[in-house]
Amino acid sequence: KHANSGEPHLYSSKPTLLPTALAGEYFLIKKLTGWSLAEQPFQVVRTMLVLTNVPAVVVILVLLSKIVEILGVSDWGRLMVMAMASFGTFLTTFAVVINNHLIAAMCVMVACYAVVQVWVVGRREKRWVVMAGLFASLAMAMDLPCGLLLAVLGIGLLFTLPRATLLAGLPVVLVVVSLSVGTNYLAHRTLLPPYAFRDAGQD
């Protein structure tokens, strides 16, 4: 709750980087179609929903299928994993609303795909480290508990490819973290996430 502009106002405690990116998407939709949230809320929201969530679900399933092909030991096992990912997860229920969880899951999948390329397939190109760092840090920016994933993948890559991790992966992570903290500061005038202020009545 912020009271620095007159009457107290309630603000979302969600991480701020995704809404900032979605504001850019809305800006483009408004420029291209003339629609506004005030005048055409259904058209705008449904367009944003399709443009945001459908690609995220496709990326998750396509990359998971590639990981399953690499790690799977039987066709039946591969089929079961894909069936569960398609029909036995809360992600499909999240797909009908714009939210941070689905986007974070997509980022987790991309990061995991990148580290599978390094650790299992044996690829040593810098781009896989950059991809892992970028999407693991984006996952954390979308859903704070994903910070643990970022730490685990970062430590693992540091042991596997120390030079690439420090010179290519770490700078990308720092940029994403800076954007996340920066947008949080713009929204709440603090570097700490709203989750740090859980006491009743705190502004």
**Tens of pLDDT, residues 99-117:** 999 999 999 999 999 999 9
**Mean pLDDT for all residues in the chain:** 91
Q: Is the pLDDT of residue 203 over 50?
A: no
The alpha helices in the chain, defined as continuous H runs, are 17-33, 41-71, 75-87, 91-94, 100-116, 126-142, 147-160, 162-164, 170-188
Determine contact, residues 194/11, Cβ cutoff 8 Å.
yes
> Which tops the pLDDT comparison, 54 or 94?
54
- Structure confidence by residue, pLDDT tens digits, 43-60: 999 999 999 999 999 999
Q: Give the type of residue at 66.
A: K
Q: 34 pLDDT band (50/70/90 cuts)?
A: very high
